[in-house]
Amino acid sequence: MSDIRIRRAAVADLPAVWPIFRTIVRAGDTYAYPRDCTRADARRIWLDAPRETWLAEADDAMLGTYYIKTNQGGGGAHVCNCGYMVAADARGQGVAAAMCAHSQQRALELGYLAMQFNFVVATNEGAIRLWKRIGFDVVGRLPRAFAHPEAGLVDALVMYKWLADI
């Protein structure tokens, strides 16, 4: 999808973010958020807590959203963390790849040197394939760390990419 526009999100965008967030979180198969998150929870988690939140749009349709935040403080403050959500009807169209490329550039602009995904559910094979294709390495595996609603206890991966060389 070549006409994706990525813009900074504001609290006023919550009505557009909420349906994507609600659908993904209620499915319970990729994020370790309570499946009964409320709209207020979504605002706090996705819009208020991160350093920045961004939206991907095309033709006035909300395609996806991502956040960027510092992964750890102090000596780890040069590493950021991001989370990505794509609307169900926009999956497989390059939205996540476009947001990840944007987030890496934004991370460098914000002074981060690396990006880490702390908890990639091992059954999320499409995301893992994409992150590996983009240059992320699996640097850790957390055995049976995620209670998947259908697969039971599954592993979660820690994925990492050094950004300073891109």
Please tell me the distance from the alpha carbon of residue 109 to that of residue 68, in angstroms, as a whole number: 12
| Domains of the chain and CATH, by start | 5-162 (3.40.630.30)
Q: Is residue 1 predicted with pLDDT exceeding 60?
A: no
pLDDT per position as a tens digit, 57-70: 998 899 999 999 99
pTM value is 0.95
pLDDT at 164 over 90: no
Cβ atoms 114, 134 nearer than 8 A = no
Contact yes or no for 55/17 (Cβ under 8 A): yes
pLDDT band with cut points at 50, 70 and 90 for residue 75: very high
Asked if residue 45 has pLDDT above 80, the reply is yes
Q: If you write DSSP's letter for every residue of 40-58 in order, what string do you get? A: HHHIIIIIISSSEEEEEEE
